[in-house]
Amino acid sequence: MVGPWPAAPYTFRALRKTFGSMWLRCDSCRRFAPLRLPPGYLDRDYRTVSFSCSVCGGVAEHTVTHPHTETGMDDYREDVREQPERHPKAHARILGADRQPGRASEFVPPADRHKFGRR
Ligand SMILES: [Zn+2]
């Protein structure tokens, strides 16, 4: 018997239900790590969450495929640290200390702009 779909659209919960494991990947460092979400993140819209690399502070790509199954990524090393610290550069970005006009980090999806009074 099939029950109702247990997850709202565009949530990490829906992705996990569809694809199973997820990873974060840094293409600069050529590293990856299993995605471990903080409490409460399973029901967040994955399109509005960004990730950063704990080593270089750059963008970490969220992916539903293991990098070793992708062409040209078999040299990516897995980060096995249990609790990696956020990179200071990424921390400053989150706090807005590096804020400049027109940055992609300030992008608000069109559907959410009314919440912030933006156009
Ligand atoms: Zn990196």
**Token pair for residue 35?**
């995605």
Residue 3: partners with Cβ closer than 8 Å, 6 or more residues away:
none
Distance 48 CA to ligand 1 centre (A): 20
**Token pair for residue 28?**
């600069």
Choose among 68, 71, 89, 85: nearest CA to 25: 68
For residue range 63-118, what is the model confidence (pLDDT) as tens digits?
999 999 999 999 999 999 988 899 999 888 888 877 666 666 667 777 777 776 65
Residue ranges with CB less than 5 Å from ion ligand 1 = 26, 28-29, 53, 55-56
Q: pTM for the whole thing?
A: 0.72
Distance 107 CA to ligand 1 centre (A): 22
Q: What is the pLDDT of residue 110?
A: 76
Residue 79: partners with Cβ closer than 8 Å, 6 or more residues away:
31, 32, 33, 54, 55
Distance 35 CA to ligand 1 centre (A): 15
Q: Tell me: pLDDT of 25 over 90.
A: yes
Q: What is the pLDDT of residue 59?
A: 94
What value does the mean pLDDT take over residues 11-22? 94
Distance 104 CA to ligand 1 centre (A): 18
What value does the mean pLDDT take over residues 46-73? 95
